[in-house]
C-alpha cells in the first residue's frame, strides 16, 4: 500500500472581518486561530480549500 502524502497547514491571518465562506473553509480545514497547525491529507479537495484561503494560510515544511 502506497504511503499517503500529507500537508502541514498553518493559519497566518485572522478570520475576523472575512466573508462567511472563508471562515467556514478555515473551520473545514480544522483551523480557526492564528498559529494553529493541522496535518492534512494531500487531496484535490484540500488543495482547493487551501487555494480559497491562501491569503490566510501557509503550507509548512514537514520535519523529516
pLDDT tens over the chain, length 64 residues: 667 889 999 999 999 999 999 999 999 999 999 999 999 999 999 999 999 999 999 999 876 5
Domain spanning 6-60, CATH class = alpha beta
10 Å CB burial of residue 54 (0-12, 13-18, 19+) is exposed
What pTM was estimated for this model as a whole? 0.89
For the chain, the structural domain boundaries read 6-60
For residue 18, which of 60, 59, 57 has the smallest C-alpha distance? 57
Look at residue 7 and give its three-state secondary structure: strand
Amino acid at each position: 500500500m502506497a504511503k499517503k502524502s500529507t500537508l502541514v497547514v498553518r493559519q497566518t491571518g485572522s478570520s475576523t472581518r472575512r466573508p462567511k465562506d472563508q471562515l467556514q473553509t478555515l473551520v473545514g480545514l480544522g483551523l480557526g486561530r492564528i498559529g494553529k497547525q493541522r496535518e492534512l491529507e494531500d487531496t484535490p479537495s484540500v488543495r482547493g480549500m487551501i487555494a480559497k484561503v491562501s491569503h490566510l494560510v501557509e503550507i509548512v515544511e514537514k520535519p523529516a
